[in-house]
Amino acid sequence: MASWQDGPEYAPQERPAAFVVPPAPPLTDPTPAPAVAAAPPAGEPSFTPPSAVQPDLAALVPSAAPGRNPNLPFEVLTATVTNAGGWGTGPATAGQQVAQRMPTQPFNAPGPPLSGYFPVQPTVAPNAPVNPAPFPAPGTPQWFAPPPETRVPDAPPAVTIGQIWTATTAGVMVPLIIGALFNWFSILMLALSFALSARIAYRHDAVRRSYIGALIVVGVLGMMSMLSVGYSSDLLFQSLSDGSQFACVVLFFVIGLIVGAALRAGERPDRMG
């Protein structure tokens, strides 16, 4: 335990009233580490020379005789082919000679040419040009122009309001306009526009779903008015008229957007059944 005798950094901030010896017993001496190696022998080591006759060191030097030149190829030995089946025992011809490998020769010794056994592979032209055209100089018109390989996609054709009006037909759009302006005719005009929407030749399924969704909303509004107040023919007619008038306003823009998107995408007219 550190005390004021170990240095000023261990001195307490306030002087203690007394110094008490700790009750813990003192630590025992550590166990000495075992010796890593034994002590050297006390006597002087002795050496006994060999009793047999030893060869001269000059006789152990390898011979400096010239060896094989590594730049020269290995020699290929050929042997004559003899026949043990009875078709001839004479020396083999040049085409019947078989090359034999000696045990002292490496496996990569040159053999007969194989050019006549494999077909000649055709030369394949590389995909990338070998010498491509250099880049144009900075600041020139060619520097800001797109590369010749790049093809700019064609912009979608512009669609006018007249084209949309013709494609949606006046029999569909005029009743919607009348129903949006006159509340008393909105129910009749919505039904008439829905009946004439079969003449639209673009995205016929999407147009039909739009009308069906609008009719469902009008019917739900009528049912809610009856459940909230009770059955009243005047109130039911007014609720259906208000819903139909709002549906005419919404369908006027929805049908125009559906047909305009089909014209902008370049779709062909649907086949009328």
220 — pLDDT class (breaks 50, 70, 90)? confident
Is residue 242 included in any domain, yes or no? Answer: yes
- Predicted confidence (pLDDT) per residue in 178-188, tens digit: 888 888 888 88
Question: Which tens digits make up the pLDDT trace of 16-68?
Answer: 777 777 788 878 888 888 777 777 778 887 888 888 888 888 888 877 767 77
Indicate whether 217 belongs to any domain: yes
pLDDT value of position 79: 54
Q: Is residue 127 part of a domain?
A: no
**pLDDT given at position 88:** 44
143 and 137 Cβ atoms separated by less than 8 Å: yes
pLDDT in the model for residue 1: 63
Instruction: Give a yes or no: residue 47 inside a domain.
Output: no
Q: What is the pLDDT of residue 97?
A: 44
Quote the CA–CA distance of 121 and 83 in Å, as a whole number. 38
Give 214's DSSP letter.
Answer: H
> 68 in a domain, yes or no?
no
Question: In whole angstroms, what is the distance from residue 4 CA to residue 9 CA?
Answer: 8
Helix (H, G, I), strand (E, B) or coil at 85: coil
pLDDT at 217 over 80: yes
Mean pLDDT of 153-159: 68
Q: Would you say 83 and 89 are in contact if contact means Cβ atoms under 8 Å apart?
A: yes
Residue 224 lies in a domain: yes
Using the Cα atoms of residue 254, residue 255, residue 259 and residue 260 in order, give the sign of their dihedral.
negative
Q: Is there a domain that residue 86 lies in?
A: no
Q: What is the pLDDT of residue 89?
A: 44
How far is it, in rounded angstroms, from Cα 128 to Cα 141? Answer: 26
Two structure tokens written together for 27: 């630590």
Residue 171 scores a pLDDT above 80: yes
The candidate with the shortest Cα–Cα distance to 92, out of 83, 102, 101, 84, is 83
> Using one digit for the tens of pLDDT, what is the confidence trace for 102-150?
666 666 655 555 555 455 555 655 555 555 667 777 777 777 777 665 5
The amino acid that residue 8 corresponds to is: P
Amino acid symbol at 251: L
Q: Based on the structure, what is the number of domains in the chain?
A: 1
Average pLDDT, the chain: 75
Q: Which domain holds residue 178?
A: 161-264
Question: Is residue 178 domain-resident?
Answer: yes
b/e for 155-179, b at 16 or more Cβ within 10 A?
A: eeeebeeeebeebbbeebbebbebb
Question: With contact defined as beta carbons under 8 Å apart, do 238 and 232 qualify?
Answer: no
